[in-house]
């Protein structure tokens, strides 16, 4: 998931928030061409998920979802964290249940 809409981003830039839940941002250290290649791969895989679901093809859907996961890992949005200061990962957790709770509560 990419914060293409104006979702609030944590002060450290590691997450954006949608409906109170933290989602890991793309690794900012990725070269622009690498990032674009991964985004292209992600969008193609997401389209393939939809096609497979519509066709009722469970195996194609499984493969497409695996491709989505691979692209998101390449972007740093899943898998090992892209920061190196030892901070834990709070991806997909409710902001109110993390160290970001006070920051989140202060948002307008």
80-101: pLDDT as tens digits: 999 999 999 999 999 999 999 9
- Write down the mean pLDDT value for the chain: 95
Cα–Cα distance measured from residue 27 to residue 42, given in angstroms and rounded to the nearest whole number: 15
The pTM of the whole model exceeds 0.85: yes
pLDDT of residue 6: 87
Among residues 105, 73, 71, 106, the alpha carbon closest in space to that of 91 is found at 73
Q: How far apart are the first and last CA of the chain?
A: 23
Q: Residue 44 — very low, low, confident or very high, per pLDDT cuts 50/70/90?
A: very high
């Amino acid at each position: 998931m990419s914060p293409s809409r104006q979702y609030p981003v944590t002060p450290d830039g590691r997450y954006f928030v949608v409906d109170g839940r933290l989602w890991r941002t793309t690794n900012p250290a990725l070269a622009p061409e690498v990032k674009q290649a991964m985004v292209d791969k992600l969008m193609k895989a997401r389209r393939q998920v939809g096609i497979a679901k519509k066709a009722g093809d469970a195996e194609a859907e499984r493969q497409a979802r695996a491709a989505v996961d691979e692209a998101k890992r390449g972007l740093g949005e899943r898998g090992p964290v892209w920061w190196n200061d030892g901070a834990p990962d709070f991806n997909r957790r409710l902001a109110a249940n993390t160290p970001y709770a006070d920051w989140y509560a202060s948002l307008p």
